[in-house]
């Protein structure tokens, strides 16, 4: 997906700087590039009225024409309480692309570039995802990912391009000073034993 380019096929798109509007008659979405190559923020078109709201959280053709031509093979859903921090997780031999969103509550969502060939290796981006902004984050293969819950409860849903493989999973240390992630200041902070034992970037297995 290149900015300034009209997308072909059933859909059309207009791009302005780093933001692209993908149009399909009554349905559209904004796609915004971050400073980390491949890491994208997606804002679906939300239709609201007195009853509530409706939006398409995924539509294969439109996402494909926006540049997300991936086969998702697994959907995951978690519920976490305030202060919970999950991550930073990645799979080393079967890396996963993830399309993540929050359906209830709010999280601070973080992705870290672990591609040694990338000009942004070791850098991270944090994005607020919540039930009001309906944002999604596409985290491509080659990144570690995690989030911290800033609401009383948060429901987190995500699609994956590879099946989960516990033996292949690695954990990057969430508070490694080398990453300089500005996590929200919450107490108590709740982590699993596995995430507390995460590996700093200098010792972590990474991608080419």
Catalytic residues: 89, 158
- Output the CA torsion sign for 1, 132, 103, 91: positive
């Amino acid at each position: 997906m290149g900015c300034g380019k009209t997308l072909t096929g059933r859909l059309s798109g207009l791009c302005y700087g780093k933001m692209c509007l993908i149009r399909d008659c009554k349905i559209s979405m904004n796609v915004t590039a971050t400073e980390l190559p491949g890491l994208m923020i997606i804002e679906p078109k939300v239709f609201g009225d007195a009853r509530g709201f409706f939006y398409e959280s995924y539509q294969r053709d439109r996402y494909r024409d926006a540049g997300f031509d991936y086969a998702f093979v697994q959907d995951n859903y978690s519920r976490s309480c305030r202060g919970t921090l999950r991550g930073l997780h990645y799979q080393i031999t079967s890396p996963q692309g993830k399309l993540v969103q929050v359906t209830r509550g709010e999280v601070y969502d973080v992705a870290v570039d672990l591609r040694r060939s990338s000009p942004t290796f070791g850098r991270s981006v944090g994005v607020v995802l919540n039930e009001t902004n309906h944002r999604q984050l596409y985290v491509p293969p080659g990144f570690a990912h995690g989030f911290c819950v800033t609401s009383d409860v948060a429901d987190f849903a995500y699609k994956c391009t590879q099946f989960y493989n516990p033996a292949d999973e690695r954990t990057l240390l969430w508070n490694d000073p080398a990453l300089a992630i500005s996590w929200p200041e919450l107490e108590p902070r709740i982590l699993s034993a596995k995430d507390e034992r995460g590996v700093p970037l200098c010792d972590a297995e990474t991608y080419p």
